[in-house]
Each structure stands twice: as structure tokens, then as C-alpha cells.
Structure 1
Amino acid sequence: MDGTETGWGRPAEPAPRWRALLDRARHGSRAAADEPPEDESQAPPASPQSPQYSQPLPTRRPYNPLSERPAYDGRSFDQGPPQQQPPPPAARPAEQQRPLPQRPVNPLDPRWKGRSQPAPAPAPPVPPPAVQPPPPAAPPATNGRRADPNSFFSPSRGRAEYPQGRAAAPVAPPHPAAPQQFAPQPVMPVRQPPPVQPPAPQPARQPLAPQPVSPGSTGARLEWRQTRPDDELERSVAVLRRKLGTPRVLAFANPKGGVHKTTATVLAAATIGSVRGRGVLAWDDNELRGTLGLRAGSARHARTIRHLLADLIQIESLHGEALLGELDGYLRHASDGSYDVLAGEENPRFAQRLDQATVRRVLDLLRRTHDVICVDTGNNVESVNWQTVMRQADQLVITTVPREDAAFTADWMLDVLDESGMGDLVSNAVTLISCPSPGPLPMLDDFARHFATRTRAVAIVPYDPSLEVGSSIEYADLKQETRTAWLKAASVMIEPFAE
């Protein structure tokens, strides 16, 4: 910039003029501030930095007589030495020439080096310490150390000469005429610990005689034991061994085929019979040629329900051992003798003879000789035979597998029973879910949660390879895990009737 015009198109003041104004603003020169500017048109407008706008700044700080450096006068370092020197102290008014208060002179202060200093007043002489007679000798210290009165680590010396929070007083040198003597410091006696007395011998305790505790007393202690798998197994066995009051009929039903109705009927009878020993029967009441007689029981004869109906009037007139002996000729038995089997007729035309009265007469006859009767029902919910078994049943067992079609058919069957006035049978039913294959089944948990809302209980039995081939069912060939699961499932079916 050439000093004639600013970058914004305004006339600018030359640099020397701006410098003079800045010096007057900093030093507060009133004489320079009263001078009119050479050119009023070029004078800058009033601003907080101009002399016309603000008060003059102080020129310097008060003079410090104790400092060799001059006081800072507010100027920048590029302005050179000050133009005016402050007046000497003698030229100041009388009210400002008061004597400054004097403070003690520090001889080590470098600012006073070479200056005249008043001589310090001589210190008063310190009298020599009085010699005191030596006190009686203190007993020696314990803990294996000798007490030294002149030792710095002596507890008495530290407490007497150097109290906490105070500095040690300076010790004056001894008088030259008298020999230097040290007064022994008293040593605090160490407190001796009291002697340890041996414990007094206590009389031997006499063993307390066992006191009888009654079960109802408040002093009886109750112990909680965590339930173990063995305890659950024992509980299931105990339920199956109880008396049932009257013979019970268990109906295994699902209109869908291939949902393990026959397998469930046989294994339920085998499980209950293995615990109770006798009095369990499995009846194949499928009107469309069931296979229960082929998969369970020995083939010592080929008699079926058709032969029993032909001699039903004669057999009904018998009682006691005679009835058992006569009926045994129409039944098949398991290999271990745990349960009996009443096989169904292979001819599908025979289903027409199983009307309501005939089914009731057969069930009444079987109740006279057996405690538990497991019935494998058919698939036609509209048949009189199927409806008669449902109305005569004490416990409904819904068999299904974790498949959507099987679950849908079972759900539909429950709705049919509800509409037929058998709501109590539905609410007391047990859902039995059989696993048809090994490994995890994605729909198993969903089925269990769904049927738990519609039936009393849900039992799950695992997959067993011995049941895969579809041949005769032998309870002894099952794995231990499968037998345990069936034992728990059977106890759930019998539990409402156990006394």
C-alpha cells in the first residue's frame, strides 16, 4: 500500500500520522490529543482506540525503590527508550514523601549487594546450660536391645527433645572455661507384658443321650433333597402299582393313519403289565383289519374277536376261575406274560357286527377279568363302534407325530368330541407324541406347547430303532431310554385313577 488509499476505496492517512495517533493513545498525551488534525477530511472517525473516544491510559506503574529494573511503562519494545524520566523522589509533594516502612534486610538477597546496609544488632549472649545431677540409672530395655540415652532412636529422646510439630531448639556452644558435659536423658521404662496364664483345664464333656423328637415338634429339622432321575422313576413305578378302584379303559385314537396308534397301544400295555404283573389287555378294535394281533402276542392260535362274539353268551355266564380259563382260549399272550392281546378280525365286513350293544358287552366282559384295557381304535369317527368306545373310555390318549397333517387331524378330532358332549374326556386327555426319526425335530416343541393348552398333559417318547421295521414289538428289545420314557408316559395316563 502506498499510504494514499486503502484497499476499500477510502482515502487513508499516511503511516506517520497513524503512528503518532497510536503513540498518543498509548501514552495519554493530552497536549498531542488537543492538536487539531492537519486535514479534517482525512481524520479517522472516532473509535474506541482514538484519544477522543477513550480516557488516556496510565503511563507507568509506581516506582519500586527495591528493584533495580525500571517499571514497565506500557510501551512496546520497538518504541525505544522513554522520552521523559520520572521525577526524583525529592521533587514529589510533601504528602508523598512519607518514609516507607523498612523491613529486615536479607543479606543473601542479590539486590542488596554493594549497598550500604545497617549493621545488624548483636545477639544477646546465650547463658550456658545449667548442669543437673545425673538421675538414677534406668533399667535396661527389653526385646533384646540395650537402651542408649544418647541414641537418636531412643523413644524417650524423641518424645522429650523433639515433640511432634516443633523444630529442635539450637544448642549453644559450651563455655570455654568449663569442660563440655552431657546430661543423660531419662529413658522411659518399657511396659512389660503381663505373664500369660495357662488355660485352666476344663472338665470333659459328657456325651448327651439322644432325645426323641416327634415329627410334629418345632425342633424337628426338615431336609430338602434335589429330585433325581431315579426318584422320578420310582415315583412312576409307585403310581402304576397302586389300586385303581375299578377297571379302567384307555382309548388310543387319531383319525389319521400312520401316527403310531398300534405301537402306542402295545407299548402302553407292555409297560403297565411289566409293573403290575397281570391284569392288562390290549384290544385291536380297528374295523379295517388292524395289525395289533400280528405285532403283539404269541401265535399259539388264530382266534380273534369274531370267535369271541360267537361264544359270547356262553362265556358271559361263567365266573371266577372258570371265566378266566375259558376266556384265555380266545386271547394271545406276550412273550414275557406281562399282558394279553385280543386280536381284531382281518375281514373288513365283520365291522358291521360291532354295533353299540355288542361293543358294550365285550368291554363289560373284559372288565371282569382285567384291570387295565388298552383299546386301539379305528380311523372312522362316524362309525358306531368308534363312538361307543369313546363314550366307554376312562382315559383318552391322542397319538400323533410331529407332522402338520397328523396334528391337524388330532385337533379336528378334539373338536368333534367337544361338539358330541364329551368335553370332560377331552380336557382330561393325554397327548402322546412319538418321534418317528432320530435327531432334532423342528416342530416338536411347537406341538407340545399347542396340545398342552388343549389336554391335561403331554408325553414325548423318543425314537427307537427296534420299532422301525414294523415287526413284532418286544418290550425287552427297547433301549433303556425308551423304556424310561414309556414308564413316565404310562404313569401320567394312570395317575388320575390311582388311589
Structure 2
Amino acid sequence: MDGSETGWGRQAEPAPRWRALLDRARLGGRGGEQAEADRRVEEHPPAEAPPRRGAGWTGRAQPVGPPAEPSYGAEPSYGAEPSYGAEPPYRAEATYRVEPAYRADPGYGAEPSYRGEPAYRTEPEPPAEPSWRAEPTYRADPEPARGRGSAPVESRYALLDNGYRPDPSPPESRYALLDRGRYRPEDHQPPEPAQAAPSYPAPPVADGYPPRAERARVEWRAPAPDHELERATGVLRRELGGPRVVAFANPKGGVHKTTATVLAAATVGSVRGRGVLAWDDNELRGTLGLRAGSARHARTIRHLIHDLAQIEILEGNTLLGHLDDYLRHASDGSYDVLAGEESPRFAQRLDQFTVKRVLELLRRTHEVVCVDTGNNVESSNWRTVMQAADQLVVTTVPREDAAFSADWMLDLLHEVGMGELVDNAVTLISCPTPGRSALQDDLERHFATRTRAVAVVPYDPALETGSSIEYHQLQAETRQAWLKAAAVMLEPFAR
């Protein structure tokens, strides 16, 4: 037990010392007198007193009576010990149930004044007839009606009642007259100006445009003819005095020998229409058969040589029909292709005698035979084609190594007794990139001293991919350059 209880729920007499200490701790150190006074108030509560208004909330519940109206402005005191046995104040009748003061107003609840009949609902007096409804004075006719006396008539409406007929309406417009067929333009011409008309007047018309005879004419004029192109076309169409073999050569690889062989055959074939063939005589797996013609079959020069003995004894259309089984054709049919063998072991079978037999057979069926000679100048097939060639075309690009290889080949041909072929040769410079190289001028001047002519063909993006060559897909500038170059190649034979 702590001295505050004796058990069984009965209130014990508090210890004076404990109470004094408790009061001092709870009241924050206030004096013993104040604590004693508070204790007495709790032990002996004062008699019932009317509630005080405006004194503030003291923190103690009133035992009886209505609660005092709290004053929220005063500082409450939290330290007083409440009496838990007293009746709570909320059971008392609260003062807020008193009838509020605003209900005492006798006017409350009465019908508001705005519900009365508003003044605007009163029927207004009808407005007087406005002055504009009256007949205006300008409409009155100051003169008397003809034949009806001298009394003035008030308005035109009264005249109509008496048989008045107004003056005729103004003349109709020319559009209405045109609809009725009575309008004549000459009757409505504007008066002539006082001054003389200019020498070349612009006659006015209704639609805003000059007459058809005076309007400017837009005439299409054909471009000026390129006499050089016409001349080149004429050269390619002439008779060549027999079949001609054109050999494209340069020991250096990558100098456009295959491209030049295909495009020369395509150009000549597009003009002549028939009798042109491109042969891949490269002994080391040439690609001319892949870049030119449509492969209807996989036959090459090897298959032709295998059946050469049975084919070369044929004549005329029968020969053409059998030889066609070993050739490939361009997409437009302008030239034929004899593809090279893919196996390098076949090179040993292309001896001098076999190459001569093949060339003799192709001369019997075609007028122009373009041959890609390959890179091995010591091979028998390369030397045989050079000895049988009617025209040598030296292919190169604007590079020093390619030009050096071509120049060395010309020296070699001179040494073996083919100086006439070299002197009549044509140097073909192909541009692998757009623009003009600085070395190109030097190469043109150099090979002009060693060969009969120098031809330059431009760069074309259609040739850059290395795929199949389609002549009609080339740019117009490229086709024109090849037309001139092919004419230079065959010009010595044209009659």
C-alpha cells in the first residue's frame, strides 16, 4: 500500500506529507499555503453557486447546475485536481438550447418584400406611332396628274390608284440584251479618245485576254544536233569490209578490260542491231559471262570446244542455230556472249590451234567480235588473239601503275613484230571515280604519242557495284561517250 488506499475501494485519509509533496510536484513548486487551500477545496467543495460568465475555464467540473459559459480568451489552469465523483457538466441543460435572439424578431418568417408584384409587370402605355411611318414628303408629286385637273396628288400610290403609269425603266444592261438577242457590241463601244492611238495597241476584250492572234506563241524547239554523235552513229552503221576482231588488253588487273569489252559490244550492237559478240578469253576464271548476257544455260567455251568438230562443219542458219546453244544473250538482244571457263585447269587446252579455230567460227557468224584477253601475256591464247586482232584497244585508268603496265605491253608487242597493231591502237581511259584526275591530262598526252587515238569514258554509278551491266541503265553522258569511243575503234574499217 502506498498510503493513499486501505483496500476494498474505500477512500483512505491521505497522508499529509505525501499530499504536500504531490501538490508541490504537480503545481510546479507553488507554496504550501496554496496547496493546502486547493486540498481543502477538493475535500469540502463549496456550496452550489450560480455559474460565472466570462471567468474562463478552470479545469474543474461543476457538481451541479448548468456549466458556466467558457471564456476562450483566458488561460486555462491545468493543475487543479478534478473531482471524479461529481456529476459531469454535460448532463446539465446546455445554454445553447435557449431560443436565439434572431427568432425574437417579429419580422422573421414574414413574406419578403421582393415577392410583391414587380413594377415592370404593369402594362405600359402603347408608344405613339413613330414619325418614320408617315409618308415622307419627298414622295409627294408637286405637279398635278396629266389630264386629271390641277389638284395636286398626295403620293405616288394615289396616282397608281387613278391610273398612273410611271416613267419607263432605265435601259437594260448589255447582259440582259444579249440574252434577248438585241445587243450589238458596236452600239456600245466607248467613244474614241481625242489623241491618236499608239502604233501597237492592246485591244480590250471582255474576258481580259488579248485576241488569239495577238497572244504569244510558245514553240518547242528541238535541241541543236550534235554533229559528232551523228557522225559516230553513221560510222557504226557502215559496212566494215568483213568481220573484225577487237582485242581489249592490259596485263594489269582492275583496269576495266571486262567492262570495256561488254560496253563496246553493247554500244556497237545497239546501233547495228545484230552480229556482235563478246568473248571472255581470260584463262584465269573470267567474269564476263556473269556481268553480261542472260544465262539461259551454264555452257562455256569448254563445251563449245568439246563439240567444235561437229559445229564447224555446218553452214548458214543451221550453224547459227547450233552455235546459239553455246552462247548467252544480252537482255535487249543486241549482242551475244561466249563465257569463259571457270576451272583454271582448262587453260592448257586453249592452245594456239584451238583458239584459231574458235575465232574462225565466230567470224563466220558475227561481224564484230570483242575479246577480253586476260592478264597473261605469255599464254598461247593471249598471243594468238593479238596476232588475229584487227584493232587493239589499250584499257587503263588514271593511275601510274596501270599506265606503266599498258606502256610496257606496247613495248612488248613492238619487240615481237606487232608494231603496226600498236601504232593503230586506241587508248581507252576509264574514270573509276567522279571528277577529273590530275594525272588524266598527262596520260592523254603520253598515249597520244604512242597510239592512234585516245578516248575517255566518264564515271557512271551503275558500273560501280560490279553487277550485271545493263546498257540502257547508263547515264546519257556515259552512253554518248561510249558511242564516240566505239566509232573511233571501228572508223579505220568503215566504208
Q: Secondary structure at the match of 2:229?
A: helix
Report the TM-score, using the length of structure 1 for normalisation: 0.54
1:280 to 271, 276, 280: 276
Secondary structure in structure 1 of the residue aligned to 2:456: strand
Root mean square deviation of aligned Cα: 1.0
Q: Secondary structure at the match of 2:441?
A: helix
Choose the corresponding residue for 1:334, options 315, 330, 333. Answer: 330
Counterpart position of 1:487: 483
Q: Distance in 2 between matches of 1:478 and 1:229?
A: 21
Report the Cα distance in structure 1 between the residues aligned to 2:466 and 2:295, rounded to whole angstroms. 17
> How far has the Cα of 1:439 moved from its partner?
1.6
Q: Could you say what secondary structure the match of 1:357 adopts?
A: helix
Picking from 246, 250, 254, the partner of 1:254 is 250
DSSP-derived class of the 2:455 partner: strand
- 1:73-472 counterparts in 2 under 5 A? 230-472=226-468
**Secondary structure of 2:326's aligned partner:** coil
Corresponding letter in the other structure for 1:410: A
Partner of 1:162: none
Q: Distance in 2 between matches of 1:410 and 1:494?
A: 21
Q: Aligned partners of 1:464, 1:300: CA distance in 2, in Å? A: 28
- Give the match for residue 469 of structure 2: 473
Kindly provide the amino acid, as one letter, of the partner of residue 459 in structure 1: A
CA distance, structure 2, for counterparts of residue 295 and residue 440 of structure 1: 26
- Gap runs ≥5 in structure 1: 1-227
Residue aligning to 1:163: none
Q: Determine helix, strand or coil for the equivalent of 1:358.
A: helix
Question: What is the distance in 2 between the residues matched to 1:441 and 1:229?
Answer: 30
Deviation per residue, 1:392-445 (Å, 9 max, x gap): 000000000000000000000000000000000000000000000002211011
String of CA shifts for 1:247-290, please: whole Å, max 9, x gaps.
Answer: 00000000000000000000000000000000000000000000
Query: Take 1:239 and 1:369, find their aligned partners in 2: how far apart are those partners?
Result: 21
Q: Quick one: distance in 2 between partners of 1:302 and 1:483?
A: 30
Following the alignment from structure 1 to structure 2, what is the Cα–Cα distance between the partners of residues 423 and 337?
36
Secondary structure, aligned partner of 1:288: coil
Q: Distance in 2 between matches of 1:414 and 1:398?
A: 9
TM-score between both structures, scaled by the size of structure 2: 0.55
1:231, distance to aligned residue in structure 2 (A): 1.0
SS across alignment from 1:344 = coil
Alignment partner of 1:443: what SS? Answer: helix
Q: Structure 1, residues 19-45: CA drift from partner, whole Å, max 9, x if none? A: xxxxxxxxxxxxxxxxxxxxxxxxxxx
- Which digits, 9 at most, give the CA deviation of each residue in 1:365-390, with x for residues without a partner? 00000000000011011111100100
CA shift at 1:229, angstroms? Answer: 5.8
Identity value in percent: 80
Alignment size in residue pairs: 273
SS of the residue 2:279 aligns to: strand
Superposed CA offset, 1:201-228 (max 9, x none): xxxxxxxxxxxxxxxxxxxxxxxxxxx7
Instruction: Return the letter of the residue paired with 1:363.
Output: L
Cα distance in 2 for partners of 1:229, 1:294 equals 37
The amino acid that maps onto 2:462 is S
Distance 1:341 1:453, change over 3 A: same
Q: 2 CA distance for matches of 1:439 and 1:240? A: 29
Residue-by-residue CA offset, 1:127-176 (whole Å, 9 max, x unaligned) = xxxxxxxxxxxxxxxxxxxxxxxxxxxxxxxxxxxxxxxxxxxxxxxxxx
Distance 1:355 1:371 in 2: 24
- Take 2:436 and 2:390, find their aligned partners in 1: how far apart are those partners? 33
* In 1: Cα distance, 2:478 partner to 2:309 partner: 41
Question: 1:382 & 1:367 partners in 2: Cα distance?
Answer: 25
Per-residue deviation, residues 10-65 of structure 1 (Å, max 9, x unmatched) = xxxxxxxxxxxxxxxxxxxxxxxxxxxxxxxxxxxxxxxxxxxxxxxxxxxxxxxx
| Alpha-carbon separation, structure 2, partners of 1:242 and 1:466 | 30
Greater fraction of residues in helix: 2
Distance 2:276 2:266 in 1: 8
Q: Secondary structure at the match of 1:329?
A: helix
Name stretches of at least 5 consecutive residues in structure 2 with no aligned partner. 1-223
AA matched with 2:389: A
Tell me the distance in 2 between the aligned counterparts of 1:357 and 1:461: 35
Partner of 2:102: none
- Deviation of 1:301 after TM superposition, in Å, equals 0.4
* d(CA) in 2 for partners of 1:441, 1:433: 11
